[in-house]
Amino acid sequence: MLYLFAKAGQQNSNNKNFQFWWQDNHPIELDLYSNMFEERINCLHNNPVEAGLVANASDYLYCSAIDYEGGKGLIGIDLLV
């Protein structure tokens, strides 16, 4: 695996050794009070459901959906919506 990360890192002048993540992301700032922010949270929560890993987002062990439904997940979080 390290060989593949090193090879990918050599192809990008921004890296010294390895590259693990793609460099083509386009981050955008989301307004906490906009519908778009809530849509993004819902999209993230539903990814495990769409992938067929669980039936409900709150059933996925590493998802904060359970916190947004009033339960308690593995890690304490601050609710944003």
pLDDT at position 38 is 86
Please give the share of the chain, as a percent, with pLDDT higher than 70: 81
| Structure tokens that stand for 14 in this block | 């921004």
Whether the pLDDT of residue 65 is over 90: the answer is yes
**Contact status, residue 14 vs residue 4, Cβ threshold 8 Å:** no
pLDDT confidence bin for 1, thresholds 50/70/90: confident
pTM for the full predicted model:
0.60
pLDDT confidence bin for 10, thresholds 50/70/90: confident
pLDDT at position 56 is 95
Q: What are the residue ranges spanned by the domains of the chain?
A: 30-81
Q: Which residues contact 74 (CB under 8 A, 6 or more apart)?
A: 61, 62
pLDDT at position 59 is 95
